[in-house]
Amino acid sequence: MNPVGIHFGYWTQYWEVDPLPFIARAKKCGFDVLEVRAQKIARMSTAERDTLKGAAANAGIGLTYSIGMTADMDMLSEDAAIRKNAITFLHEVCRGMQQLGGTIMAGINYSSWPRRPLPGEDKQLLTDRAVEGVREAVKGAEDCGVYICIEVVNRFEHFLMNTAAEGIAFVQRVGSPNCKVHLDTFHLNIEEDSIGGAIVEAGPWLGHFHIGEANRRPPGRGRMPWPEIFGALHQINYQGAVVMEPFLIPGGEVGRDIAVYRYLPGHDKLDEEATRSAEFVRAEQKKAQSAQSKNEG
């Protein structure tokens, strides 16, 4: 089965926090993977990275890394210096990952987030800029033996890539085995006619996968078609982690950026909800395996 992970932002209202305490919490709740903020690990000292690496290893927790770029690191910018900032920063992240362990850097790593097109901007020109920038950034990933996974998000958060097909076309243009697609059920639910179909279409291009309900609650508390989702992941033999990215608490940087404006059910028992959801995800994976075996039989 796929390793099951959780995003550190589930437990905090602020992005720039020390990820170390969340390792024990993820372990306690039954997870295999903790997803941490790429910006944070890029700015850590060597000693701080060694401490985080040791804690994760001792707990048996793998690490993945996610990012939402800021306006001063936007590969879509007309300003070549800003585009260079983005590339340089992603190279720093790759080197940090190489030291820490874990090979997946996901999220909106090709532009600032959130972002809408400015008046007069041409989407094709901006896509060309992003492809050029990621081609340079992925050289650092290749050197470090890690992957840059390009997240496809909904139209309300970004405009460049909203469907799996657009993400696939983008990574094909980048043309590196170290550049993959990152899909997320929250965004797929908004943009795709068929969530399972989009996963199957991504196939070998899929490098990272986020899971969550349509309202950002943990898996198992909503209406997502989980048998379809895990069946599609099993069909394409996806081997990576499935990382839940729920957000239940308004306020702070996280609530503002994710657009959480009310307390969602479960906000007062976060660990209990996370534990239940991890169990639910593993049960759904087992069902998908069983269904596939019956079909093959």
Active centre residues (catalytic): 151, 245
The pair of three-digit structure tokens given for residue 252, joined into one six-digit string: 């702070």
Q: State which H helix or E strand residue 244 sits in.
A: strand 242-244
For every residue of 195-230, DSSP letters joined together read HHHHHHHHGGGEEEEEE--TTSPPTTSS---HHHHH
The pair of three-digit structure tokens given for residue 48, joined into one six-digit string: 């701080």
C-beta atoms surrounding 114 within 10 Å: 14
- Secondary structure of residue 11 in the 3-state scheme: helix
d(CA 81, CA 250) in angstroms, rounded, equals: 35
Q: CB of 144 within 8 A of CB of 94?
A: yes
Q: CB of 183 within 8 A of CB of 206?
A: yes
| Residue located via tokens 């959480």 | 260
C-beta atoms surrounding 297 within 10 Å: 5
